[in-house]
Amino acid sequence: MEKLLLVIGDMENLNLDSLPHTMLDQILSKVATNNIRDFGSARVAFPGFNAIGREDYFYRSTNLIFLNNWIEEVNDVRIFRLRCYHLGNPKVIYLRGMYELFIFHLVDEGREKIHLAGERGCLLAKYVDGMMNLAFSIDDRGLVHNYPGFTREHVDRMSHMITSWKLSGHWDYDKTEMFLSLLERIDANFSYACWCYKIEEPVFVVFIDGSRTEWRCDHCFWQYAAWSFCDEIHLTARDWPIGD
Ligand SMILES: [Zn+2]
């Protein structure tokens, strides 16, 4: 609360009215996902925020991927999230799909929602959808086949996101059987037998986080990407109010 008042105080000096609408929109979205109580305070403090907080489009587009779940604000968070969901916010459809898939084990329903969210423009959902199709294309030799259409850089960006502490902070449930068995079946040692492993002067690829690895051919790249996806993705399923 203190932090927000400080921000609003600074903003008054800047004159909030002079800020473009899209910027106000983004500020309010950040406030709401950081602390739902501050969302209410911001709306009280500035009429511009209050006007945005009444608009359907705000709930349709707010990024709830990093929504903070404050234990003492469960109901407010629930109402906020439900409004976003009912207005078709792709990021919330994604979160709901992840919850159904990983917590309720409703594989078809969950994957359908994740796919829909991807179609509606949620980048993370598009990535997860593509990686699931990849992981589930595994054959009986442990090799994956349905390579997604996105670039290696995109895989790096998205996997960096799903392993960030903000998203992967939920450790209070077990890995799902489905992904454990996929993980066991995917041949992670595939590279050792591949031509790209034997290149005499290897080329290095630098990741977003600064670490580096030897370049791999497409087969080896997707094989390893599928394996690490299955190892990590379950950690990003967020809480969703049961029964909604
Ligand atoms: Zn290879």
Task: Please tell me the distance from the alpha carbon of residue 126 to that of residue 113, in angstroms, as a whole number.
Answer: 11
Whether the predicted pLDDT of 127 surpasses 50: yes
Neighbours of ion ligand 1 (CB under 5 A): 194, 196, 217, 220
Mean pLDDT computed over 219-226: 94
Between the CA of 218 and the centroid of ligand 1 the distance, in Å, is 7
Between the CA of 130 and the centroid of ligand 1 the distance, in Å, is 21
Whether the predicted pLDDT of 209 surpasses 60: yes
Between the CA of 176 and the centroid of ligand 1 the distance, in Å, is 29
70-99 pLDDT, tens digit each: 666 778 888 898 999 999 999 999 989 988
Between the CA of 220 and the centroid of ligand 1 the distance, in Å, is 4
Whether the predicted pLDDT of 42 surpasses 90: yes
In the structure, what pLDDT confidence band is assigned to residue 16 with cuts at 50, 70 and 90?
Answer: confident
Between the CA of 138 and the centroid of ligand 1 the distance, in Å, is 17
Between the CA of 226 and the centroid of ligand 1 the distance, in Å, is 14
In the structure, what pLDDT confidence band is assigned to residue 130 with cuts at 50, 70 and 90?
Answer: very high
Between the CA of 191 and the centroid of ligand 1 the distance, in Å, is 5
Between the CA of 158 and the centroid of ligand 1 the distance, in Å, is 22
CA distances from 6 to 3, 9, 10, 16, 114 (A): 5, 5, 6, 14, 38
CA distances from 45 to 4, 56, 189 (A): 11, 20, 58
Both tokens of residue 12?
Answer: 């008054």
Task: Please tell me the distance from the alpha carbon of residue 244 to that of residue 242, in angstroms, as a whole number.
Answer: 6
Task: Please tell me the distance from the alpha carbon of residue 230 to that of residue 23, in angstroms, as a whole number.
Answer: 37
151-162 pLDDT, tens digit each: 999 999 998 888
Sign of CA dihedral 218, 221, 223, 225: negative
Task: Please tell me the distance from the alpha carbon of residue 109 to that of residue 165, in angstroms, as a whole number.
Answer: 27
Whether the predicted pLDDT of 1 surpasses 50: no
pLDDT, residue 14, reads 63
Share the mean pLDDT of the chain: 85
Whether the predicted pLDDT of 170 surpasses 70: no
57-67 pLDDT, tens digit each: 999 999 888 77
User: Which of residues 192 and 143 earns the better pLDDT score?
Assistant: 143
pTM for this one? 0.84
Between the CA of 230 and the centroid of ligand 1 the distance, in Å, is 20
Between the CA of 147 and the centroid of ligand 1 the distance, in Å, is 14
Mean pLDDT computed over 233-242: 71
Mean pLDDT computed over 116-122: 95
